Each structure stands twice: as structure tokens, then as C-alpha cells.
Amino acid sequence: MTQRGWQFLVGLLVAALTLVGLALYTASRADVAAEQAREESDRRWCGVVVALDQAYQESPPQTPAGRQIATSIAELRRDFHCP
């Protein structure tokens, strides 16, 4: 193979590796952005979840369905890491 052929192959390899690197970088940035969006969504729900959980703690429900809802709200509060 000639020197020009080798230069072409090396250039092609560098270009391919650059594209793979850019693709991996873009994918990792997309994952970070998605995680940040999920965390922001969880924080927005915290206000509602905390208000409901506090209401259920102050005045516990009397029915089985109400107790199940109160338990679910308390679990959501823990899952969302609300204060």
C-alpha cells in the first residue's frame, strides 16, 4: 500500500473514532439531562405530597381505603426524598 493509502486509512480511523467519541459524549449528556428533569419533577411533586402526608398525619383516615391512600402518600414522600 502506498503512503497516500495509509494516510487515507489513518484519517478515516481518526474520523470514525471522533464520531464514536462524540456519540458517547452526546448520549451521556442526554442521560444527565434526563436525570435532572426527573429530579426536578420529583421536587415539584414534593409540595403536594408533603401537604397530603401532613394532613393524613394530623387527621388519620378512618376507612381502610383512606389508610391505604395515607400509606401510599407516605411512601411517595420517602421515594421522592421530600423533607
Question: What total of structural domains would you count in the chain?
Answer: 1
Rounded CA-CA distance 81/9 in Å is 53
| pLDDT tens per residue, range 48-76 | 999 999 999 999 999 999 999 999 999 99
Angle at 66 between CA 47 and CA 77, to 5 degrees: 30
Domain that holds residue 64: 3-79
pTM of the model: 0.58
Position 44 scores a pLDDT of 87
Least Cα distance to 82 among 49, 55, 52 occurs for 49
- Please say if the pLDDT value at position 41 is more than 90: no
| Model confidence pLDDT, tens digit, residues 8-38 | 999 999 999 999 999 999 999 998 999 899 8
Are 73 and 56 a contacting pair, CB within 8 Å? yes
